[in-house]
């Protein structure tokens, strides 16, 4: 499993991030300045509210007893990760503000290089205790995530800027390949711990579903009460509800070297497609009835 977690998994994640970079331009980051309110609300929800909700839900889950602490840490890892490229696609399909979605994904992915180690270390010590070894050395983790996520995105953006026609032609294929690799990672994560998943499916599935619904519902509510337009609410709701499960699995397997911690990311990655799809169907139904 070492070659898979230490080499293949990081390479797959790097390619997925590279494929995202092929669709980004500098204006996607500058757009933050033109949408400061929507972006700041989305960023706040992503960086602060999501981990807090995950901690509260996981704490209640653990208090019920019989939960492997590693699974609880896996929930915090998941909440620490930014949104993935799937949120951009679903926002587009739902006629939301795709530019806002892309801006949030891009910027939060860069910021997460710093926020991920802090959030995960807090969650690790909260659920595993001080008697365990330090899980994530801050500096080495920052560098590791930087080279696996930020650098590939930058390379993709560089190619987009210098060879736009090539990037535009290759990006659809790269996105399909990234989707395949994403499914492969989730499949491997579930397969490796199939017995543990079967044993804990009811509880793991329930708590990850609760986190997914809670984050999407809270994001929608905050976006609504702060007066954001519907297209912006759609983008923020999906951005908070569709996490980068690939990154969560990679962190658990590669940096923490704990395959049990991979499970919440794997289960969540399956469930979020269902809840995201149902949200889009609900939007379509409501818009049809109001038109």
Question: What does the pLDDT look like over 193-210, one tens digit per residue?
Answer: 677 667 767 778 889 999
Percent of the chain with pLDDT over 70: 89
| Of 50-59, 211-220, 238-247, minimum mean pLDDT range | 238-247
Residue-wise pLDDT tens digits, 12-25: 878 887 887 887 78
Q: Domains of the chain, with CATH numbers?
A: 2-284 (1.20.1530.20)
Q: Can you tell me the distance from the alpha carbon of 98 to that of 235, in angstroms, rounded to the nearest whole number?
A: 7
Mean pLDDT of 257-285: 85
Mean pLDDT of 80-102: 81
The two three-digit tokens of residue 30, written as one number: 């500058």
Instruction: Kindly list the distances between the CA atom of residue 287 and the CA atoms of 38, 95, 174, 260, 280, in Å, as whole numbers in the listed order.
Output: 22, 11, 33, 42, 11
Q: Can you tell me the distance from the alpha carbon of 248 to that of 189, in angstroms, rounded to the nearest whole number?
A: 11
pLDDT value of residue 77: 92
User: Is 22 or 141 the better-scoring residue by pLDDT?
Assistant: 22
- Do residues 204 and 263 lie in contact, with contact meaning Cβ atoms separated by under 8 Å? yes
pLDDT band at 94 (very low <50, low <70, confident <90, very high): confident
Mean pLDDT of 59-75: 86
Residue 84 predicted with pLDDT over 80: no
| Of 82-91, 154-163, 202-211, minimum mean pLDDT range | 82-91
Q: Can you tell me the distance from the alpha carbon of 11 to that of 177, in angstroms, rounded to the nearest whole number?
A: 13
Residue 132 predicted with pLDDT over 80: no
């Amino acid at each position: 499993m070492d070659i898979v977690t230490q080499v293949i998994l990081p390479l797959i994640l790097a390619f997925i991030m590279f494929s995202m970079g092929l669709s980004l331009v500098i204006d996607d980051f500058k757009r933050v300045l033109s949408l400061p309110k929507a972006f700041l609300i989305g960023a706040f929800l992503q960086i602060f509210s999501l981990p807090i909700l995950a901690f509260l839900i996981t704490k209640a889950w653990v208090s019920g007893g019989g939960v492997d602490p590693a699974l609880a840490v896996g929930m915090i890892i998941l909440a620490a990760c930014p949104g993935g490229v799937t949120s951009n696609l679903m926002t587009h399909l739902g006629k939301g503000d795709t530019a806002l979605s892309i801006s949030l994904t891009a910027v939060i992915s860069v910021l997460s290089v710093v926020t991920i180690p802090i959030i995960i270390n807090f969650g690790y010590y909260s659920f595993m205790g001080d008697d365990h070894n330090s899980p994530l050395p801050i500096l080495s983790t920052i560098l590791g995530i930087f080279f696996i996520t930020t650098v590939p995105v930058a390379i993709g953006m560089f190619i987009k800027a210098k060879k736009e026609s090539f990037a535009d032609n290759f990006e659809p294929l790269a996105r399909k390949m990234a989707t395949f690799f994403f499914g492969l990672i989730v499949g491997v994560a579930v397969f490796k711990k199939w017995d543990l998943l079967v044993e804990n499916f009811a509880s793991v599935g329930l708590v990850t579903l609760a986190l997914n619904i809670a984050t999407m519902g809270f994001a929608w509510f905050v976006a609504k009460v702060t007066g954001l337009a519907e297209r912006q609410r759609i983008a923020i709701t999906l951005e908070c509800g569709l996490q980068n499960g690939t990154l969560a699995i990679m962190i658990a397997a590669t940096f923490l070297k704990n395959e049990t911690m991979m499970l919440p990311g794997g289960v969540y990655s399956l469930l979020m497609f269902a809840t995201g799809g149902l949200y889009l169907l609900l939007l379509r139904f409501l818009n049809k009835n109001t038109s």
